[in-house]
Chain A
Amino acid sequence: MSPILSVRDLSVTFDVRKQGAWPWTPAQKLHAVSQMSFDLNAGECLGVVGESGSGKSTLARAIVGTVPSSNGSILFEGADLANMDTRERRVHRRDVQMIFQDPLAALNPRMTVGDIIAEPLVTHEPSTPRKEVKMRVATLMERVGLLPNLINRYPHEFSGGQCQRIGIARALILRPKLIICDEPVSALDVSVQAQVVNLLMELQRDMGLSMIFIAHDLSVVKHISDRIVVMYLGRQMETATADTLTTAPEHPYTQALISSVPIPDPALEKARVRPILEGELPSPLAPPSGCVFRTRCPKVQASCAGDRPQMIDLGGDHHVACPYHAPEHVLASNSA
Chain B
Amino acid sequence: MIPNPQNVQGIVDAMALSEVKGRSLWADARTRFLRNKAATVSLVLLIFVAAFALFGSLIAQWERDFVDFTLIGSNAYKGVPSLETGHYFGTDNNGRDLYARVVQGTGISLMVGMVGAMVAVVVGTLYGATAGYFGGRLDGIMMRIVDVLMSIPFMFVLILMLVIFGRSITMLFIGIGLISWLDMARIARGQTLTIKNKEFVEVAVATGVHPIKIILRHIVPNLLGIVIVYATLLVPNMIIFESFISFLGLGVQEPNTSLGALINEGAGSMQYGTLWQIGFPLFFFVVTIFAFFFVGDGLRDALDPKDR
**List of B residues within 8 angstroms of A152 by Cβ:** 19-22
A276 on interface, CB distance cutoff 8 Å: no
**By the criterion CB–CB under 8 Å, are B24 and A148 in contact?**
no
**List of A residues within 8 angstroms of B209 by Cβ:** 119, 123
**List of B residues within 8 angstroms of A143 by Cβ:** 1
Shortest distance in angstroms between A74's beta carbon and chain B's nearest beta carbon?
Answer: 14
Knowing A108-B200, A112-B22, A156-B25 are in contact, say whether A66-B12 is a contact too (CB < 8 A).
Answer: no
**By the criterion CB–CB under 8 Å, are A138 and B207 in contact?**
no
**List of B residues within 8 angstroms of A65 by Cβ:** 205-206
Contact of A91 among B19, B22, B202, B208 (CB under 8 A): B208
Knowing A139-B3, A142-B11, A207-B1 are in contact, say whether A110-B24 is a contact too (CB < 8 A).
Answer: yes
Residue of B nearest to A207 (CB): B1
- Mask, B48-82, CB within 8 Å of A = 1, is 00000000000000000000000000000000000
**By the criterion CB–CB under 8 Å, are B25 and A66 in contact?**
no
B152 on interface, CB distance cutoff 8 Å: no
Bound Cα distance from A100 to B206, whole angstroms: 11
**By the criterion CB–CB under 8 Å, are B14 and A148 in contact?**
yes
Shortest distance in angstroms between A83's beta carbon and chain B's nearest beta carbon?
Answer: 17
A106 on interface, CB distance cutoff 8 Å: yes
Bound Cα distance from A153 to B199, whole angstroms: 20
**List of A residues within 8 angstroms of B203 by Cβ:** 98, 100, 106, 167, 170
Chain B residue total in the interface (Cβ 8 A): 33
Bound Cα distance from A285 to B15, whole angstroms: 54
A107 on interface, CB distance cutoff 8 Å: yes
Residue of A nearest to B26 (CB): A110
The residues in A between 158 and 188 inclusive whose CB is less than 8 angstroms from any CB of B are 167, 170, 175
B198 on interface, CB distance cutoff 8 Å: yes
Most chain B C-beta atoms within 10 Å of own C-beta, residue among A106, A109, A110, A148: A110
Knowing A106-B200, A110-B25, A110-B222 are in contact, say whether A153-B20 is a contact too (CB < 8 A).
Answer: yes
**List of A residues within 8 angstroms of B210 by Cβ:** 90, 123
**By the criterion CB–CB under 8 Å, are B24 and A135 in contact?**
no
The residues in B between 260 and 297 inclusive whose CB is less than 8 angstroms from any CB of A are none
- Mask, A15-27, CB within 8 Å of B = 1, is 0000000000000
The residues in A between 100 and 140 inclusive whose CB is less than 8 angstroms from any CB of B are 100-102, 105-113, 119-120, 123-124, 131, 134-136, 138-139
Knowing A108-B218, A110-B221, A135-B11 are in contact, say whether A66-B202 is a contact too (CB < 8 A).
Answer: yes
**By the criterion CB–CB under 8 Å, are A119 and B3 in contact?**
no
**By the criterion CB–CB under 8 Å, are B12 and A138 in contact?**
yes
**By the criterion CB–CB under 8 Å, are B20 and A93 in contact?**
no
**By the criterion CB–CB under 8 Å, are B208 and A98 in contact?**
no
- Mask, A87-99, CB within 8 Å of B = 1, is 0011101101110
Knowing A123-B207, A138-B15 are in contact, say whether A149-B199 is a contact too (CB < 8 A).
Answer: no
**By the criterion CB–CB under 8 Å, are B1 and A102 in contact?**
no
**List of B residues within 8 angstroms of A139 by Cβ:** 3, 7-8, 11
**By the criterion CB–CB under 8 Å, are A107 and B22 in contact?**
no
Contact of B15 among A109, A111, A148 (CB under 8 A): A148
Shortest distance in angstroms between B14's beta carbon and chain A's nearest beta carbon?
Answer: 7
A314 on interface, CB distance cutoff 8 Å: no
Bound Cα distance from A112 to B14, whole angstroms: 19
Residue of A nearest to B4 (CB): A139
Shortest distance in angstroms between A263's beta carbon and chain B's nearest beta carbon?
Answer: 34
**By the criterion CB–CB under 8 Å, are A154 and B24 in contact?**
yes
Shortest distance in angstroms between B264's beta carbon and chain A's nearest beta carbon?
Answer: 45
Most chain B C-beta atoms within 10 Å of own C-beta, residue among A61, A89, A154: A154
The residues in B between 189 and 224 inclusive whose CB is less than 8 angstroms from any CB of A are 198-200, 202-210, 213, 217-218, 221-222
B18 on interface, CB distance cutoff 8 Å: yes
B306 on interface, CB distance cutoff 8 Å: no
**By the criterion CB–CB under 8 Å, are B25 and A119 in contact?**
no
Bound Cα distance from A236 to B202, whole angstroms: 25
- Mask, A233-268, CB within 8 Å of B = 1, is 000000000000000000000000000000000000
Bound Cα distance from A113 to B19, whole angstroms: 12
Shortest distance in angstroms between B206's beta carbon and chain A's nearest beta carbon?
Answer: 5
**By the criterion CB–CB under 8 Å, are A107 and B200 in contact?**
yes
Residue of A nearest to B221 (CB): A110
**By the criterion CB–CB under 8 Å, are B222 and A134 in contact?**
no
**By the criterion CB–CB under 8 Å, are B23 and A154 in contact?**
yes
**By the criterion CB–CB under 8 Å, are A149 and B12 in contact?**
no
Bound Cα distance from A98 to B208, whole angstroms: 12
Bound Cα distance from A157 to B25, whole angstroms: 10
- Mask, B1-43, CB within 8 Å of A = 1, is 1010001100110110011111111000000000000000000
A85 on interface, CB distance cutoff 8 Å: no
Bound Cα distance from A134 to B204, whole angstroms: 19
Cross-chain pairs A/B with CB under 8 angstroms, 12 sampled: A66-B206, A91-B208, A97-B207, A106-B203, A108-B222, A119-B207, A131-B12, A139-B11, A142-B11, A153-B20, A154-B22, A206-B1
Additional pairs, 10, CB under 8 Å, beyond known A135-B12, A138-B12:
A110-B25, A110-B221, A120-B207, A123-B208, A148-B11, A149-B14, A149-B19, A149-B20, A152-B21, A154-B23
Q: Which residues of A contact B (CB under 8 A)?
A: 61, 64-66, 89-91, 93-94, 96-98, 100-102, 105-113, 119-120, 123-124, 131, 134-136, 138-139, 142-143, 148-154, 156-157, 167, 170, 175, 206-207
The 6 closest A-B pairs by CB, nearest first: A93-B208, A153-B22, A110-B221, A106-B199, A90-B208, A139-B3
